[in-house]
Structure 1
Amino acid sequence: MGTIRDYRNMVEQPWGKMFYELIYEQLNISEEKRVRILDFGAGFCITANYYAKNHEVVAVEPNEEMYNLRAEDNEYTLITQGVDYLKAVPDNYFDVVLCHNVLEYVENREAVLDQLGRVVKPEGILSIVKHNLLGRVMGSAVLADDPNVALELLNNISEDSMFGNRSVYSNELLIETLSHDMKLSDSYGIRTFFGLSSNNEIKHTNEWYQSMLALEIKTSTMEEFKKIAFFII
């Protein structure tokens, strides 16, 4: 299963960097106007650190092992609490709220979503990245060569991880849970192809990286490919 430090090392690899580059491409937050951003469940604060170059960023991460390994090239505010911090934030406070790969691990998903919807401005952006069940099935069956795990995922839609039990929820459930008159405006697939090959040597070449990045961007809005992407934003 690996450790938190193993995971930190992984995000520095080309396939880890591409995940973040795709998020930045898809969110397309302008650098011309300084906005207030909340990164809830910031992990290693890689996304928070990136946006802190041009924006006011608050990174919320209660996991000490993760925030001790955080990126901190740029200045942002680190909050080592969780939902309790959200409850103290005024309504309509943030222009952008990020919640990436977090809701799979919380028991009170609806309550967290309610708080996130409350603190984002009515005209703001709530960005959620979530694991996609069909993408995880593809990864287990193809990359890991483990069809038994793929079958278990299809039957149980939950699995153990280094962060605890991971419950993969549907897009429909997310949309039904959104409140505060929010609506889904866009969705994209992430890691449709680049996580299905075990040939890591080629992934360190610039030719592979740039071509794969272009392919991922091209297919990220195509419904046929979104269905099997490892993540949905």
Structure 2
Amino acid sequence: MARQLEEQITARFPVGQRLRVLDVGLGQGTQALRLARAGHKVTGLESDPTMLAAVRASLAGEPAGIQERVQLIEGDGRDTGVHFPAGTFDVVLCHGVLMYVDEPDPMLAGLARVLAPGGLLSVLVRNADALALRPGLSGDWDTAMTAFDTPRYKNRLGLTVRADRLAALTDTLTGIGAPLHAWYGVRLFTDLAADDAVPPPVEELTRLLAAEERAGRTDPYRAVAALLHLCGVRG
């Protein structure tokens, strides 16, 4: 998934351009490290000290040049105005974060503020319009029926969180001055795979990723993906 997102993000910019990236809620730092290895300057903002320590440990194993391109800050994604001036970044990543935020609009407005003109706001969310699919395909009919009536669901960590709808986020992006430029479905064919599943052989993995990428940009498949990747561009 990380490679797919990276390709969708960098496709917005000329090949070879070195980007200033803010990764809000960077988690284990997978996306941040991939972008730093590709030559981009990445700032990671994370509120969980344990997660931040894990990223620092991973970063310590990277070559010095990559370490120099990464800055890690302990902080909340809702407080970007405290840490950064307006127009600081070319790309802002908000992946797997909105599910924990009851009122996402103010946070997204703050993220749009720190984007430079023409900058990209990349948002990855659970798709509320497809919440019934995972439990339904697993034979969990009670959970599937509940998913038709609420955007709340229990994630794989056992936490009750919130999914988002494409239409609502499209309106929000327009309202904050970073209207939707493109959107993709993510995890159509792999959503039921276990977190600790062993990747298939390289040849099969290549075919799988090609199928995921094709479905993720093709109607009607992308509309029922487990996740939605929205790309808004700052006016």
Consecutive aligned runs of 4 or more in structure 1 exceeding 6 Å deviation: none
Equivalent residue in structure 2 for 1:59, among 44, 63, 88: 44
Alignment check: 8 A CA contact 1:39 1:98 kept: yes
| 1:156 counterpart residue number | 150
Q: Distance in 2 between matches of 1:68 and 1:202?
A: 26
* Structure 2 residue ranges without an equivalent (≥5): 230-235
One-letter amino acid of the counterpart of residue 48, structure 2: N
Q: Distance in 1 between matches of 2:146 and 2:152?
A: 8
Shift of 1:26: 1.6
Map 1:144-223 onto structure 2 (within 5 A). 144-161=138-155, 162=157, 164-178=159-173, 179-196=175-192, 203-223=199-219
Alpha-carbon RMSD across the aligned residues, in angstroms, is: 2.1
Number of aligned pairs? 213
Shift of 1:69: 2.5
| 1:3 counterpart residue number | none
Change (3 A) 1:81 1:192: same
* Structure 1 residue ranges without an equivalent (≥5): 1-18
Change (3 A) 1:124 1:194: same
| 2:23 counterpart residue number | 39
Q: Distance in 1 between matches of 2:159 and 2:168?
A: 21
- The one-character-per-residue Cα deviations of 1:87-114 (angstroms, maximum 9, x if unpaired) are 3311111111110111111133111011
Alignment check: 8 A CA contact 2:91 2:119 kept: yes
Alignment check: 8 A CA contact 1:135 1:192 kept: no
Richer in strand (by share)? 2
| 2:115 counterpart residue number | 120
One-letter amino acid of the counterpart of residue 62, structure 1: S
Shift of 1:84: 2.6
SS in 2 for 1:87: helix
Equivalent residue in structure 1 for 2:3, among 1, 4, 21: 21
Alignment check: 8 A CA contact 1:105 1:164 kept: no
Q: Does 2:81 match 1:91?
A: no
Equivalent residue in structure 2 for 1:231, among 219, 227, 231: 227
Q: Distance in 2 between matches of 1:110 and 1:117?
A: 11
Alignment check: 8 A CA contact 2:80 2:111 kept: no
